[in-house]
Structures are given as C-alpha cells and as structure tokens.
Amino acid sequence: MTAPTTCPGCGLELPATGVPPDPGRNASAECWQLYGEVQGYALRHLELARDTQQLGVDAYAAQHARRGAAAGPPPIGVAYALVGLHLALDRGRSGLEVRATHRRMGRPDASWPSLPAPASTGSMTVFDVAVAGAMVDSPAGHARALRAWAAAVWEAWSERHDTVAELAGRVLG
C-alpha cells in the first residue's frame, strides 16, 4: 500500500496515484483530479453550473494560493478568486456577475494590493463537496457543501476582506 499524498494547498490527504503534481497549481495531483471530478459533476447539472460552479472555481483557487508570495500585485488567480468570493458571499452576486467582473479586471497591475495568503485557508476542502454531492449523486448536497466550503475559505482570508472589497470596488467603478 502506498503512502497518501498531502496537498500543499489545502492539506487534503488522498491515496497516492503516482502522478506527479503540477508545481504551478500548489495542489497535489490527487487533489486537482478530485477538483476536476467535482467540477464535472456540477457541469452535468444545469442549476449547479449556473448557480455554484464559479463559487467552486474561486474557493479552490483561494484555498490553493501560495503562502509567502512575494510583495507586489497578487497572482491573477488569487485576486480573481478573492474578488469572486467577496462578490458572491458578501454582495450576493451571481456566478455570471462574478465572471463579468473577472473580465473587467483584466490583467493584474502595480496598483493591485498585495494579498498574502493566511497560514490556513479553511477547514473544509473539495473532498467535503465531493462526499456531499458527486459521491452520493446529490445536487442539493453538492450546493450546500460547496457554499459552506466557499464560506470557510473566505473566512480564512478575513484579514484581507477590506483590501479585497476595495479592489472589487475599484474594478466595479
């Protein structure tokens, strides 16, 4: 029996598959594969694709942000993810509205604030969403778990909420 792998982004332990991780993702290959399965499940259900798919994209990206990132503009995925979580969870914006804001953001520039990742990025992981949704074929369970996961990730970034809200406000005008 092989030892489990531990995801560097979220800490999730999963059985090793022997697939090497992509260092650019800050995720184990196993965690990334599970995320793909969860997203695939969502895309097979219109209401999930419409209402929660973007929230899953943003939760995963924010949870897998690199710690100890250099000063300066944040990586585009982190900024997009945090603005998306802010808009969805604090302002009640839909996934379509969040995607439209991401398009308006364009590329990061020097005026964007630094967004260093917290020491912990939430107690829930994509595994919790898989167990509640795809593994038991429950769209409602998927939606509930995904919202809880996104809220846990966003709460982990609480020290950056004001900074993210200010960036979102600048983007939205």
Q: Where are the domains of the chain?
A: 26-172
Residue 99 burial by CB count (10 A; 0-12/13-18/19+): exposed, middle or buried? Answer: middle
Helix (H) / strand (E) element for 142: namely helix 139-156
pTM: 0.93
* All residues at 6 or more sequence positions from 65 whose CB lies less than 8 Å from its CB, including other chains: 9, 26, 74, 75, 77, 78, 81, 115, 117, 121
Q: What is the pLDDT of residues 117-156, one digit of tens each?
A: 999 999 999 999 999 999 999 999 999 999 999 999 999 9
Task: Tell me what pLDDT residue 38 has.
Answer: 97
Which residues of the chain are modeled with pLDDT < 70? 1-2, 69-74
Q: Which pLDDT value is given to residue 1?
A: 54
Residue type, 29: A
Q: Which two tokens stand for residue 23?
A: 């260092």
Query: 104, exposed or middle or buried, with CB in 10 Å at 0-12, 13-18, 19+?
Result: exposed
Beta strand spans in the chain (E): 4-6, 13-15
Q: What was the pLDDT predicted at 74?
A: 64
